Structure 1
Amino acid sequence: MTPAASDEEETGIHCRLDELLAERGMTLTQLSARVGVSIVNLSVLKNDRARAIRYSTLRAICDALECEVGELLVLSRDD
């Protein structure tokens, strides 16, 4: 089991950053410049390896992507 998989199973939360970026035709580099968060830290979030996120960062990402928190972070459900 990979660390990303174990983190997602542990929290049950999935970050849809990759999907939202694709829908908006935006790169991680462009998002990084807009929100002032390093590409490395955004990559950690995008790959479900983040253990925490500041509300200010969450707000900045949602503002830049014109989305709601619930569109970015979703609960992973076992079917």
Structure 2
Amino acid sequence: MTLTRLSELVGVSLVNLSVLKNDRARAIRFSTLTAICDALECQPGDLLVLR
């Protein structure tokens, strides 16, 4: 799935998704994480890594 398509499905700007994708985000709203997981049919643990 393209970042553009994910942006459309989730309702989050392309810029904000790019920040998340490139590991430059300092925080993420739970509602955003939930929407991304719903769109990708995954769990938060599939997307996040504890460092």
TM range (shorter): over 0.9
Tell me which amino acid in the other structure corresponds to 2:44.
V
1:64 counterpart (18, 23, 39) = 39
Q: Which residue in the other structure is 1:52 paired with? A: 27
Q: Which residue in the other structure is 1:28 paired with? A: 3
The whole-number CA distance in structure 2 between the counterparts of 1:56 and 1:37 is 11
Query: CA deviation digits over 1:6-54, x for unaligned, max 9?
Result: xxxxxxxxxxxxxxxxxxxx00000000000000000000000000110
TM-score (norm 1): 0.63
CA RMSD of aligned residues (A): 0.7
Q: Which residue in the other structure is 2:49 paired with? A: 74
Structure 1 or 2, whichever has the larger Rg, is 1
Which 4+ stretches in 1 moved above 4 angstroms?
A: none
Ranked by relative contact order (alpha carbons within 8 Å, sequence separation 6 or more), the top structure is 1
TM-score (norm 2): 0.96
Q: Which residue in the other structure is 1:18 paired with? A: none
The whole-number CA distance in structure 2 between the counterparts of 1:28 and 1:38 is 10
* Percent identity (aligned): 80
Unaligned segments of structure 1, at least 5 residues: 1-25
The whole-number CA distance in structure 2 between the counterparts of 1:27 and 1:73 is 19
